[in-house]
Structure 1
């Protein structure tokens, strides 16, 4: 794609100047104050999922310059991200600061899932969140392979609005407080019958027995994961 679009030189400059295999000091400071991030995962077949994670500042913990960890709170029980990680350890994290610096940070790496007991055994100084609904059901620990900037060009500058009424209902099972049937999907459920995703070539039926996890690819010497693999093929 770089050859076809004539961007190879520009991409090589980005790799050389912006892509790190660790979190430097400014990146670690940035991570420590974020209240949300977007997570990309894929299963062993390459079927993708993206999701949103949020919590108080610092809920995405910087354990060291090559390791991040975040708690998994109570959710809808689907476990799409965790299930994907069990099959394919590769993850992509995107943090965007809409409020202050209007900049983003990409982190690509490999993840493993630990119980809360296992996590606190490895990191006994980890704080316990006292808020109801923010008790970690498990933890995801991410080993950093690549960290690089997301430019501010199209990031909107937003402003926080004070909460009105009761605070956030962390961990609530109240249907309406979680958003209710905002998109009308529940109203259509009786018409469409039980959900089953469309078949993919070579893909076994839904809810199949889990297979062996996908081994992570060899670590790239430079460059963003997908494009650096294209560069290695080209060379």
Structure 2
């Protein structure tokens, strides 16, 4: 966990519960480790983000209710534009526009990026904004994707956190499993053929 993430997330109410359950001392040192400086997206974070084919994004509407949306695309559709900025092409979906409307009320977002195969997750918080400029839409377009891009969405990253592996189920993409099974089936066929030849001898 970064110092900035702790500074933003450890509100007085959170700190009270940390105190009651014995974790406040350790977390307070973490929050005090540096001043309120935005986290920089480093090489490890950029590589992890580039491999993701989906993420979850949370926003809050005028009613105060949170809303979580799943966004998916080809690996790398969520781009690191610089050490403080992410961006992605916002394709036309079911046209509910809940996330888009919520951003007009409150631009703060939280992202969950999951790597189930390696039981790793990264949380990011930041401020999101729409960018309708043709240049940015073109920059964030996804090669081979036939969907209509309605806008680009840019996220100014405030902080991030790498979570522990505990309780993350290990899941694998279907295409990776099918490829592995295909290799195993080929090997089984080879062994069966070799076994048949040995029996004939």
TM-score by length of 2: 0.70
Separation in structure 2 between the aligned mates of residue 106 and residue 65 of structure 1, nearest angstrom: 16
When the two chains are superposed, the root-mean-square deviation of aligned CA atoms in Å is: 2.3
Aligned positions of 1:83-232 closer than 5 A: 83-99=101-117, 101-115=118-132, 117=134, 119-120=136-137, 125-133=139-147, 135-162=148-175
Separation in structure 2 between the aligned mates of residue 61 and residue 142 of structure 1, nearest angstrom: 10
Give the paired residue count.
157
Separation in structure 1 between the aligned mates of residue 89 and residue 120 of structure 2, nearest angstrom: 24
Residue aligned with 1:132, SS: coil
User: 1:20–1:148: 8 Å Cα contact kept in structure 2?
Assistant: no
Q: Which has the larger radius of gyration?
A: 2
Residue from 39, 43, 49 that aligns with 1:31: 49
Identify the range of structure 1 (153-162 vs 82-91) with the bigger mean alpha-carbon deviation. Answer: 153-162
User: 1:105–1:149: 8 Å Cα contact kept in structure 2?
Assistant: yes
User: 1:21–1:145: 8 Å Cα contact kept in structure 2?
Assistant: yes
TM-score by length of 1: 0.61
Structure 1: which 4+ aligned runs deviate by more than 6 Å?
none
Structure with greater helix share of residues: 2
Structure with greater strand share of residues: 2
Following TM superposition, by how much is the alpha carbon of 1:73 offset from its aligned partner in structure 2, in angstroms?
A: 1.3
User: 1:116–1:136: 8 Å Cα contact kept in structure 2?
Assistant: no
Structure 2 gap segments, 5+ residues each: 1-16, 177-201
